[in-house]
Amino acid sequence: MKKILIVDDEPNIIMSLEYTFKKSNFEVFIARDGQEALDILQNETPDAIILDVMMPNVDGYATITEIKKDEKLQHCKIVFLSAKNKESDIEKGLSLGANAYMTKPFSIKKLVDKINELVEE
């Protein structure tokens, strides 16, 4: 079973993504900010991470920077999912090592397709 970590502070997005990925046979882990995500990643190694940029405590950019330092997480596919939609935001996310950057509002089908594509590589 593939594992996915969803990191977002919006309850509606968390609920929607959790439901969708469980239906797609993923084991789902939830974090509401970057620090919670980093805590989960000490014990779990997901195949993919969906990461919001703007969150309390530790934002998505700081979170991916920490993830990329951990050798056991190098294979994790990371997709930013954010309301920050300027070209500079997207470029920053990709330059920090994200495999993809999708903006909100988003198509859940496109997100699921992108995650499946990335974890099959």
Q: Mind listing the pLDDT tens digit for each residue in 65-104?
A: 999 999 999 899 999 999 999 999 999 999 999 999 999 9
Token duo for residue 94: 């990709």
- Please count the CA atoms within 13 angstroms of the CA of 119 that sit on its side-chain side: 20
pTM of this prediction? 0.96
Length of the chain equals 121
Q: What number is the average pLDDT over the span 12-39? A: 97
> What is the DSSP code string of 40-77?
HHTT---SEEEE-SS-SSS-HHHHHHHHHH-GGGTT-E
